A and B are shown apart, each in its own frame.
Chain A
Amino acid sequence: MNVKRRRFLRAAMPYLMLTPAALFLLLFLAYPLFSVFGLSLQNYNVARLNQRGFIGLENFAKIFTDDNVFFKSLGISFRWVVSEVVIQLFLGFWLALLLDKTFRGRGVVRSLVFLPWAMSGVVTAMIWSLIFNQNIGVLNDLFRKLGIITKDVAWLANAKTVLWSCITAEVWRGIPFFAITLLASLQNIPTDLYEACRVDGGRPWQEIVYIKLPFLKNTIILTTLLRAVWEFNNVDLLFTLTNGGPSNRTMTLTMYMTTTSVNNNNYGYGAALAVIAFFILLMFALVYLKLSNFGKED
């Protein structure tokens, strides 16, 4: 009996040790995730709780037939994610290439340029709202002195400039992630590959195209995929910097579902938007993994 019990305990050990993690994930991730689907089928507005009840797919019907903000938000999400990922990847890769060279003071430079990685979305929003401010902002002052503008621009209140202003702020915070991961991979490239390239008379740009990029391919695919999902899900910065405005110019789908729930207290409708976001993320992840042939070479 005692031996049996001990054998059982030994077999159960991994599952026992996974229990705390499982409890956390079940309670605070799986449960809320599934209840979003239930909420999306309800009329549930905190301002009109007496009308609360099951309404089937009515929220979805309204979203797809009678909601201009939704369709606009899809476009803004698309522009937001693509610009963020492309610019961050390009600049992050460039920075990684620069930091891969040896020069004096590299350690200090690295500490500084990687620092925004540790900054929160709220702090980033604070910093850039000071810079972009129409009346006291330093950007207008700089641009006036350089002769780029003659009249002050309200970067965050102007419908034409607001999205690119927000993208710039998020790029500032996002470059280090790519630079850090790509630099780590660059430093794993065996040096004899470079030597072979040099013997064949390869130029620096050929080194990048024929050695570095192919070697980094998997890292680039994985980081880009993760980053795209994170940027799609990003709310901290936009919520603090513009709250989706002016006139919904920075209202991404994730921002729309957040403000519907948080600011307008319309839980049912917000949940329906969340369900749509969930399926977009799911499809995006599947398509991307397939396109990138990820894992086939392993």
Chain B
Amino acid sequence: MEISRKNRRLIHTIVFLVLPLTAFILFVGFPLYWIFITAFKPESEISSRNVSYWPREFTFANFGEAWKNAGFSIYFKNSLVMTLIGIVLILVVSIMTGYVLARYKFKGKSIVYLILLCTQFIPGAMLLTPMFIMFSRFHLLNNVVALALINTTFQIPFNSILMSGFISGIDYGIEEAAQIDGCSRVGAIVRVILPLLKPGMVTVAAYGFIACWNEFLFAFMFTTKQASYTLSVGLKSLIGEYAMNYGQLAAGAVMAVIPVTILFINMQKHLIAGIGAGAVKG
């Protein structure tokens, strides 16, 4: 019996679209689902060998314990303060650098690009020790501002190039008109460019948020007191304990993930465009 054309198309769709896509969704989605439901299981259920794929008993206890006893309220606050300072610094510096790259022709411009590009290749782990020596000499350990400065440094190159793209997209004529009307160049930037730059600023802020919020290595090295831990360091510290509390661990991870997830889902279009542009331009 011959398979009809319509059926053949259906089989084709199932084999080449539905099946592989389902596999991708399961591979990506299941781990997220797993950490999420684990956070709502009581500890006894998590550590039972009889694995449950849906909580037999729902509880919010892990979140309460992680927040109060394990110190996640402090870690959350530290991460938030560090991230907000980082975002402000990244925005200011990337707007200034991006403006120069978009609007000026000057000697050494190609070298500036080369330097920004090369920074992408330097491993943070390589700078860890000298930075630690430097920061401890200036008594800047356990300091969220110091961490924000380091994060800003690593985010400047990518976000400056991204910002210059947004600024190039704004018509220079508007700026000139403002200058003719008596604005200084800086005045024109503040009054004309900044209001039009909102999409660029939102995108850079989102990138800055994700990068600062997720940073681990420097926060781990530069915080010695529990009161200064960020979320990443707090999560890592739970693993080192002898009696591991999986419920608290899962709840802590969920707390760390939720702000980033909300941001990502709402900002997806902007972020995706940026990743593409950033990767192609370096």
Contacts and interface: CB of A to CB of B under 8 A. Distances in A.
25 contacts: A18-B100, A32-B130, A33-B126, A91-B24, A98-B17, A103-B17, A113-B25, A114-B264, A114-B272, A115-B28, A119-B214, A121-B214, A122-B235, A122-B236, A123-B235, A123-B257, A126-B235, A126-B250, A130-B246, A138-B53, A172-B28, A177-B275, A180-B272, A236-B216, A240-B239
A153 to B, nearest CB: 14
A116 B28 contact: yes
B276 A184 contact: yes
Contacts of B133: 35, 267
A136 B126 contact: no
Contacts of B282: 222, 226
A14 interface: yes
Interface in B193-209: none
Interface of A: 13-15, 17-18, 20-21, 24-25, 27-29, 31-33, 35-36, 39, 91, 94-95, 98, 101, 103, 109-123, 126-131, 135-136, 138, 141, 172, 175, 177, 180-181, 184-185, 204, 218-219, 222-223, 226, 229, 232-233, 235-236, 239-240, 254, 257-258, 261-262, 267, 270-271, 274, 277-278, 281-282, 285
B217 interface: yes
A123 B125 contact: no
Contacts of A122: 214, 216, 232, 235-236, 256
Contact of A136 (B153, B246, B252): B246
B10 interface: no
B183 interface: no
Nearest to B146: A28
A220 B73 CA distance: 42
Given A29-B119, A112-B25, A240-B236, A21 B93 contact: yes
A114 B267 CA distance: 12
B143 to A, nearest CB: 14
B19 to A, nearest CB: 10
Contacts of B260: 118-120
B196 to A, nearest CB: 18
A262 B128 contact: yes
A47 to B, nearest CB: 14
B67 to A, nearest CB: 17
Nearest to B273: A184
Contacts of B275: 117, 177, 180-181, 184
A118 B256 contact: no
Given A13-B104, A32-B134, A277 B239 contact: no
B32 A277 contact: no
Interface of B: 16-17, 20-21, 24-25, 27-29, 31-32, 34-35, 38, 46-49, 51, 53, 92-93, 96-97, 99-100, 104, 106, 112, 115, 119-131, 133-134, 149-150, 152-154, 156-157, 160, 185, 210, 213-217, 220-221, 232, 235-236, 239, 246, 249-250, 252-253, 256-257, 260-261, 263-265, 268, 272-273, 275-276, 279-280, 282
A80 to B, nearest CB: 14
B31 A127 contact: yes
A28 B17 contact: no
Given A32-B130, A95-B24, A270-B129, A21 B96 contact: yes
A260 B1 CA distance: 69
A66 B53 CA distance: 50
A127 B253 contact: yes
Nearest to B238: A126
A72 to B, nearest CB: 18
B32 to A, nearest CB: 7
A103 B22 CA distance: 13
Residue from B20, B125, B236, B257 having most chain A Cβ neighbours under 10 A: B125
Nearest to B21: A98
B235 A109 contact: no
Contact of B51 (A28, A95, A136, A261): A136
B20 A94 contact: yes
A191 to B, nearest CB: 19
B13 to A, nearest CB: 9
Contacts of A181: 275-276, 279-280
Nearest to B108: A15
Contact of B96 (A20, A177, A185, A233): A20
Nearest to A219: B280
B138 to A, nearest CB: 11
**The 3 A-B residue pairs with the shortest CB-CB distance in the complex, in nearest-first order:** A120-B214, A233-B123, A184-B276
